[in-house]
């Protein structure tokens, strides 16, 4: 049910405080980049994002009387300015919301959809071989119908108190005045420089004067400010049925290559695809874990089902009484088992029967847990289970399944809670860092490459593949925005970017907090490993230094990777306090804030689980 609208006049003043003139590009900064604070405790509401400007915009909305849905949309719009390579209106995402008035958790599916003209062979060459992945990414063919604008509008209509126009004011001010380029933004630009130079409007916007933006310079995006103003004034009609829709379709069908750049494949998006797009409300996934109720995103995301199944498996073990190495061994094995089932069974439920209830059943989890040997790691990849309702004391032979598909390392996550106890956990993305690389000319935003999340071709033709392209289909996602309740009241919310490592990041953070007794900040900062039913486990250097030798003795094999995920979260502490937490270092560090900060530090790690 829609809330009563309130007009927050203070929102018109949401700007960065920078002074910059001229067109898009870099100018001399008038002040240093805002400080990133990874932990904050206080009252009045909390926001945690990867970016201090976005966190500030969200906090200002809360301070002006907005609720968690209002602040989440406002912060997301700000991230569209400051994190344009990770998120924006050219992409999609999943919005999970706890409504304090009703005690219910709801979700909005803002996942992009395939064009109606897309078939199962869309990512195959003429000879039937899969396209080179990067060739597919940097093409109109990778662009799905964006869902983010409708997600914002639906979140405000269902749960918020602001209009879309009011919620966009912070993003408009930020795009007009600009933000200070930091080392992370410059490095992300450098990593994508070759891709960006292929497309004239992208190079013009993000390579000002033909060069990488300098750290400390101000990057402005007046085209995006105007696009936001258009949506603020006219609603979503221009985006899904008007002139902006025409521009999106023209850009996808004829990507604007730079002079001399190699031509890229055109896409299949039509106006009809935009006009028919919907961001439906879906029932969340739910599992019980250590006396807590853990809610997540249902298919087409695999986040809720895979995190939920792994937790169900781990509940078979007394993790709270185990030393670190056997606990982490159990975590890695449960992740591999749940990924095997994810890869075999999860896809868009409108196209593929997903046995969600069985995947999240206690009996299936007990059967899967029987495969875990405390003294030895399973050979990977493991086989999928058979979630058919007939479970014995030992795992049955299942259909063979391979490792998870490649998903982009980008995406962003924000977590918001307000003084009334409403909570938003929102993961949004344009897929890989820099998306398709294609900016809509004159509109200021990059289009997604979300359709490369489809499986290009079945790994085994004899096994049904739930994630092949199809007309109007939503590709499988790993996004896992999560809200945790105890006795119907919120205690914790979190999420992360990171492609398929999102699932393991959320899972490991929950295990750290609930079973290992870490406070939320420490649970997020702790070194990570990600096992996704692959022969080797990705692991950060600090994880290997602490646990690698002992886990290798159990049979685990590792591939070192610099960093995994970039989580944010909010926890409800005793006494009405809120704790906001973000990464201290990964992806350049995140930004946590509260409306009224508390002097002094209370107990940040009260016991959450009933029987850890």
Predicted local confidence at residue 30, as pLDDT: 54
Q: Is the pLDDT of residue 400 over 50?
A: no
Note whether 208 and 219 are within 8 A (CB). Answer: yes
**Nearest one of 366, 329, 328, 368 to 345, comparing CA atoms:** 368
Q: Which candidate, 330, 314, 296, 337, places its Cα nearest to that of 477?
A: 296
SS3 string, 391-431, reads: CCCCCCCCCCCCCCCCCCCCCEEEEEEECCCCEEEEEEECC
pLDDT of residue 460: 81
Q: Maximum Cα–Cα distance for the chain, whole Å? A: 69
Say how many residues make up the chain.
612
The full set of domain ranges for the chain reads 31-38+53-280+410-453
Whether the predicted pLDDT of 408 surpasses 90: no
- The DSSP-derived string for 467-505 is T---TTPPPPB----EEEEETTEEEEEEE--STTHHHHH
pLDDT in the model for residue 19: 41
Name the one residue in this structure whose structure tokens are 């990777």. Answer: 561
- Residue 26 pLDDT level (bands cut at 50, 70, 90): low
Query: Mapping DSSP to helix (H, G, I), strand (E, B) and coil, where does residue 508 land?
Result: helix
**If 0-12 CB within 10 Å is exposed, 13-18 middle and 19+ buried, where does residue 158 land?**
middle
Is pLDDT above 60 for 189? yes
Residue 344 exposure: Cα atoms within 13 Å on the Cβ side: 23
Tokens of 428: 């949004």
**Among the options 55, 411, 433, 439, which is catalytic?**
411
pLDDT for residue 605: 76
Q: Which of 5, 55, 278 is nearest to 160 (CA)?
A: 5
**Would the pLDDT of 461 be above 90?**
no
**pLDDT for res 3:** 46
Q: What's the rounded mean pLDDT across residues 41-49?
A: 97
Mean pLDDT value across residues 390-395: 72
Rg, Å, the chain Cα set: 23
Q: What is the arithmetic mean of pLDDT over 86-99?
A: 97
Task: Give the percent of the chain with pLDDT over 90.
Answer: 87
What distance in Å separates the CA atoms of residue 143 and residue 159, rounded to the nearest whole number? 29
User: Do 39 and 577 form a contact (C-beta atoms < 8 A)?
Assistant: no
* 411 belongs to the catalytic site: yes
Query: How confident is the model at residue 394, as a pLDDT?
Result: 62
Confidence of residue 464 (pLDDT cuts 50, 70, 90): confident
Q: At residue 475, does pLDDT exceed 90?
A: yes
C-alpha 600/C-alpha 293 separation (Å) is: 30
Q: Which two tokens stand for residue 563?
A: 């960093």
Mean pLDDT, the chain, as a whole number? 92
């Amino acid at each position: 049910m829609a809330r009563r609208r309130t007009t927050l006049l203070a929102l018109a003043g949401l700007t960065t405080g920078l002074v910059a003139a001229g067109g898009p590009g870099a100018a001399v900064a008038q002040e240093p980049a805002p400080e990133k604070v990874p932990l904050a405790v206080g009252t009045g509401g909390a926001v945690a994002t990867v970016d201090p400007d976005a966190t500030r915009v969200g906090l200002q909305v809360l301070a002006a009387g907005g609720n968690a849905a209002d602040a989440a949309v406002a912060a997301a719009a700000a991230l569209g300015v400051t994190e344009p390579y990770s998120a924006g209106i050219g992409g999609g995402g999943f919005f999970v919301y706890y409504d304090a008035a009703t005690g219910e958790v709801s979700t909005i599916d803002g996942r992009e959809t395939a064009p109606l003209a897309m078939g199962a062979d869309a990512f195959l060459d003429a000879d039937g071989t899969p396209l080179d992945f990067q060739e597919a990414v940097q093409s109109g063919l990778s662009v799905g119908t964006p869902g983010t604008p409708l997600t914002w509008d639906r979140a405000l209509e269902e749960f918020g108190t602001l209009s879309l126009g009011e919620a966009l004011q912070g993003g408009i001010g930020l795009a007009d005045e600009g933000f200070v380029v930091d080392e992370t933004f410059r490095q992300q630009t450098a990593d994508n420089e070759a891709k960006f130079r292929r497309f004239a409007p992208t190079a013009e916007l993000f390579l000002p004067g033909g060069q990488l933006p300098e750290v400390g310079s101000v990057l402005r995006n007046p085209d995006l400010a105007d696009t936001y103003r258009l949506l603020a004034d006219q609603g979503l009609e221009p985006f899904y049925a008007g002139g902006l829709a025409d521009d999106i379709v023209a850009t996808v069908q004829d990507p604007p290559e730079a002079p001399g750049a190699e031509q890229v494949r055109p896409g299949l998006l039509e106006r009809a695809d935009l006009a028919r797009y919907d961001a439906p409300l879906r029932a969340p996934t739910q599992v019980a874990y250590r006396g807590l109720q853990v809610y997540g995103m249902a298919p087409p995301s695999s986040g809720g089902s895979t995190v939920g199944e792994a937790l169900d498996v781990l509940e078979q073990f007394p993790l709270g009484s185990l030393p670190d190495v056997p606990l982490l061994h159990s975590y890695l094995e449960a992740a591999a088992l749940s990924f095997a089932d994810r890869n075999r069974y999860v896809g868009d439920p409108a196209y593929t029967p997903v046995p969600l209830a069985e995947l999240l059943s206690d009996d299936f989890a007990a059967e899967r847990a029987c495969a875990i040997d405390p003294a030895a790691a399973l050979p990977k990849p493991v086989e999928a289970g058979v979630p058919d309702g007939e479970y014995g004391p030992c795992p049955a032979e299942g259909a063979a399944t391979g490792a998870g598909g490649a998903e982009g390392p980008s995406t962003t996550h924000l977590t918001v809670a307000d003084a009334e106890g409403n909570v938003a956990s929102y993961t949004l993305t344009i897929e890989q860092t820099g998306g398709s690389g294609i900016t809509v000319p004159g509109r200021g935003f990059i289009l997604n490459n979300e359709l490369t999340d489809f499986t290009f071709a079945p790994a085994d033709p004899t096994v049904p593949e739930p994630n092949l392209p199809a007309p109007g289909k939503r590709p499988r996602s790993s996004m896992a925005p999560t809200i945790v309740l105890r006795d119907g009241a919120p205690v914790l919310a979190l999420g992360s970017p990171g492609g398929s490592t999102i699932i393991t990041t959320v899972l490991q953070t929950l295990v750290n907090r609930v079973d290992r007794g870490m406070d939320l900040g420490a649970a997020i900062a702790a070194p990570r490993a990600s096992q996704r039913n692959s022969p080797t486990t990705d692991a950060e250097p600090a994880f290997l230094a602490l646990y690698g030798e002992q886990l290798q003795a159990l049979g685990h094999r590792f591939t070192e990777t610099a960093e995994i995920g970039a989580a944010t979260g909010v926890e409800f502490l005793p006494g009405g306090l809120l704790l906001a937490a973000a990464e201290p270092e990964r992806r350049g560090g995140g930004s946590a804030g509260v409306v009224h900060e508390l002097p002094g530090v209370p107990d940040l790690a009260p016991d959450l689980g009933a029987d850890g």
